[in-house]
Amino acid sequence: MLTRPQALALVLRRLALLGRELGKPQLEQANEETRLFGEAAALDSIGLVTLMADLEEDVRAACGVSVHLADEKAMSRLTSPFRRVGLLADHLIDVVEKSTPPA
C-alpha cells in the first residue's frame, strides 16, 4: 500500500533526479501543480517515458510489485494522468493498488 504523501514524494524525488540529469534545475522545485507535458511543460515525450520507467523501478524496489504506468486504459482517460505531478501521484497509487495481490 502506497500513501498519497509517499507517492508524491516518489514522483518529486524522481523529477529532481531527472532534472539534474537533463540540466533542468527547475524540475527540482516541482510541486503538485507542475505540468509534466503539454503546453509550457517540463518534459518531452522521451523525458516523460524516462520518468515513468524510473518510477516503475522505484515502485518495484519500494512495494515489490511490477507495474506499468502507461497502458491503453491510462492513455484513453479523458484527463491524462501524465499532465501534472499531482495526477501522476494519484495514478501511481491506483496502479500499485490494482497490482498488489490481496493479503
Which secondary structure element, helix H or strand E, spans residue 53, and what is its range? helix 45-63
Nearer to other proteins, 46 or 103 (CB): 46
| Torsion of the alpha carbons at 56, 60, 66 and 67, rounded to the nearest 10 | -30
The reply to whether 63 sits near other proteins by the rule CB under 8 A is no
CB of 2 to other proteins, least distance (A): 20
19 neighbors 28 (Cβ within 8 angstroms): yes
Which residues, listed in sequence order, are joined to residue 35 by a DSSP beta bridge? 84
The alpha carbon of residue 23 and the mean position of all alpha carbons in its chain are separated, in whole angstroms, by: 19
| CA pair distance 54, 49, nearest whole angstrom | 9
Among the residue ranges 3-11, 72-80, 86-94, 95-103, the one whose residues contact other proteins (CB under 8 A) = 72-80
Among 46, 64, 102, 103, binds other proteins (CB under 8 A): 46
Least separation, in Å, of the C-beta of 50 and other proteins?
A: 4
- Give residues in contact with other proteins (CB under 8 A): 17, 20-22, 37-41, 44-46, 48-50, 52-54, 56-57, 68, 70-72, 74-76, 79-80, 82-83
